[in-house]
Structure 1
């Protein structure tokens, strides 16, 4: 067996086998062998959420499903597909997803199970687009749940605790165009004085900072759906110019990478050049190796009402953070009702850290950040955090309901690994 590493290379999985089933029957037969199992997506998690000493099963070789509903408002896809695989197919159909993450390289099932998100005041996490899901339990039983069914809201962001996600049905809408602009050196004081105005300036907005300076951020990326009329376009342009002036910022002259000084070739097009939704909403193009290479990632999401306090907490630790940091990204997510979503029950603001590949130093610093952040902060399930499991559980009102659901789907605890044990499952 080839030993599997995660995408960042900071984790070697301990699995005794790493099979790639090619059919539902193959998957059922693998489960029938007994022993611990976990599912592996595109390996973009930075912690041991997918780790196991048993079989680490990837669904990337399963038959590909891509079925648009007769009403053209949904698409059913196989869980092992990546967003970058299904997006062009949707575009060919004149359809689109409402949101995408920074990377199109991630698998649909893995992203949904970990509550991964893109950015936008009016846009939910990737999991919020799921209207139906098909699971195979460790007993080989197939279970289908649809939005509104009992247990559905707990089964979507599942941390891989319920079974293998065979397929998902996602909400879609008519295709649209997006243009992307980058502002440089905006004032932090102005950003925090009216954060709503900043994050509401586009369909998707990200604030980037290396925290080398605490008076200005590095960049603001604004991704905006292209307006339908010239009058709307003129109004948007005027509003953007007003925002630039109010923040003391300047419009970037040329293409930029989120990390200062890095070649932006891998990034999606900027400078207001309109293009299809799936070629603008992510920060990075599918055909390039994503991001900066070896790195560690952490993220904490706080309710919107705690956002300014959270940013101020990070700013107060800038001198501790900056030496280890590649870039910090701040973005927003609309509330949903999924039990383990980091935006469950609240509009949220995410503080995402891309760290230099020094995990020991990062783990030594994270308790300081976690202590400084508001007590409402929820860590991203697939990234590095050090909060105690009991403390994490306490930040999810439906945790006990989820634990009961997991016990029902996996009574033999075959999907439970050390990561889930630390959380109390």
Structure 2
């Protein structure tokens, strides 16, 4: 049976080969350190677990409205007002099965065949695949490392064509951890307004910032930008709820209505129990997430110093999320490898450290390392990487 053409356009995940090899080595009894995970290593806080249990005990296990329960929509609206200075009515919000599904649904209702979406590189691996599945074309713009991997207004404008429908802005970023400030967003916004381009603002890491920089949602900068922006967010990173699969989108009523209609024919609704857990997460004041953030900050500072000490590796210090994205091209070349992917594979085989090659993020000279694990494991990982680099120097 021949598969649909749209599925054939998908690019296999760059993490699959490394993940499969790491799993195989673990099964053989090797002590493998995996730095590829994209989720907090903390459990979901107890008050959220209790809310989920109460929901189950009280019979909240039935279908809900496709766009989410009204109580959660209101809690999200309150959150957006309090944290981001944004006011949305309930019919301008959709609760989705994770922020990833919010993005998928958005592209499905937004894109026609050959519509273009500007995707700054490095990018999260699912952006281009979701765009292609919707019949669109990702247009990659290489954001320079010396500019902290951030898209400039000139680069954005140069990439716009008559087919451009949207641009993705991810701040703080996966995989780089970089973030845009207010002035930078204002200038990008001017270009988008000039050319009538929708802004897809992925803000899933907004609560994980380790500097004095303030997260700014581009939608909050003006009424015009708000009307031209879809805000994507969720609780996976902020509340250690990756497996609960609750995200949301907020934006123009017409787009949200179309997304809700599509969801009614795909997922029916987000999991009812998860919605009540998310409701408790947003309605309850709790400092457990601040403790998680402090732990990430401590790990970042320690791991960043250790990685930067390794010959041939350089890294711009991230401001948010929980990844390092160092450039390892020189180390790979000095170790006798023609590309970073081969270097990553050899590192795994010899030192049993699994990194994610940057090629899958549109940055083949880099690797992504998650520091969502203990300092002891991070220190051991850095030790092994450094040993590998020094042992293979030509």
Q: TM-score, normalised by structure 1?
A: 0.25
Q: TM-score, normalised by structure 2?
A: 0.26
Q: Which has the higher strand share?
A: 1
Greater relative contact order (Cα 8 A, min sep 6): structure 1 or 2? 2
